[in-house]
């Protein structure tokens, strides 16, 4: 989905991406949602085989997904800030956006695994 903005390593001259965000617009977000639904169905099946429930992780993923929608994303507001604040806040939000949901998901899944065992 990415436009050509994914660096292979820090300060890399070469960047990668298929550019589908720019080409497909909102439809790229819909396609990512469909892909997420397929992954959730696969995960649901695997966790159910181990008698584990993943309702709360799915709720968190749905909230994060809609927060990243073309309409609700906080990045739209950050993009209107003057430099260097736009870069600094964007970097902070991206970092928080990767770390916090990952930590919460890990905690929720570990909690469910402890409950089952």
Low-confidence residues of the chain, pLDDT below 70? none
Q: What is the bridge-based pairing of β-strands 15-16 and 6-7?
A: antiparallel
pLDDT tens by residue, 90-111: 999 999 999 999 999 999 999 9
Residues facing residue 56 across a β-bridge: none
Spacing of C-alpha 59 from chain mean position: 13
Q: Quick one: tokens of 84?
A: 């260097």
Q: Specify the pLDDT at position 105.
A: 95
Q: Residue 38: how many CA atoms within 13 Å on its side-chain side?
A: 6
Q: Quick one: tokens of 108?
A: 């929720």
- Residue 59 has a CB neighbour count (10 Å cut-off) of 11
Q: Where along the chain do its domains lie? A: 50-116
Euclidean distance between CA atoms 5 and 18, whole angstroms: 10
Q: Specify the pLDDT at position 54.
A: 95
């Amino acid at each position: 989905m990415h436009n050509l903005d994914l660096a292979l390593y820090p300060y890399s001259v070469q960047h990668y991406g298929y550019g589908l965000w720019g080409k497909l617009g909102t439809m790229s977000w819909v396609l990512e949602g469909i892909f997420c639904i397929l992954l959730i169905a696969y995960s649901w099946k695997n966790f159910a085989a181990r008698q584990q429930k993943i309702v709360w992780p799915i709720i968190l993923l749905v909230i994060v997904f809609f927060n990243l929608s073309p309409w609700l994303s906080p990045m739209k507001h950050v993009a209107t800030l003057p430099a260097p604040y736009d870069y600094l806040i964007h970097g902070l939000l991206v970092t928080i956006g990767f770390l916090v949901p990952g930590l919460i998901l890990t905690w929720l899944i570990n909690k469910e695994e402890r409950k089952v065992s």
